[in-house]
Amino acid sequence: MRTIRYHHIAQEVKSRILSGAYATGRLLPSESELSAEFSVSRVTVRKALEILRDEGLADSRQGFGWFVAGDTVRQPLARLATIEEQMRDSGATPERRVLEFAFEKAPKDVATALATTQVLRVKRVNLADGEPFAIVTVWCAAERGQHLSMADVERSPFYELLDVPLAGATQTIGADAATADEAALLKIPVGSPVLKCQRTTTSVDGVTVLVSRHVFPAHRTEFVVDLPFVDQSIAPSGLRLVE
Domains along the chain? 2-68 (1.10.10.10), 73-224 (3.40.1410.10)
C-alpha 164 chain-centroid distance: 27
Q: Which residues pair with 177 in a beta bridge?
A: 193
Q: Does the pLDDT value for residue 2 go beyond 60?
A: no
pLDDT tens figures, 40-76: 999 999 999 999 999 989 988 877 789 888 767 667 6
C-alpha count within 13 angstroms, C-beta hemisphere, residue 4: 1
Mean pLDDT of 174-198: 91
Strands, DSSP E only, in the chain? 58-61, 65-68, 73-76, 94-105, 118-128, 131-141, 166-177, 193-203, 208-217, 221-224
Mean pLDDT of 233-242: 58
In degrees and rounded to multiples of 5, residue 68 shows phi and psi of: -70, 125
* DSSP class of 161: H
Helices (H) and strands (E) in the chain, counts: 9, 10
Mean pLDDT of 90-100: 85
CA nearest to 27, candidates 135, 131, 177: 131
Per-residue pLDDT band for 79 (boundaries 50, 70, 90) equals low
Q: Does the pLDDT value for residue 38 go beyond 70?
A: yes
59: Cβ contacts below 8 Å, ≥ 6 apart: 53, 66, 67, 69
Per-residue pLDDT band for 160 (boundaries 50, 70, 90) equals confident
Mean pLDDT of the chain: 86
* DSSP class of 59: E
Q: Where is pLDDT greater, at 86 or 193?
A: 193
> What pTM was computed for the model?
0.77
- Cβ neighbours, 10 Å, residue 107: 13
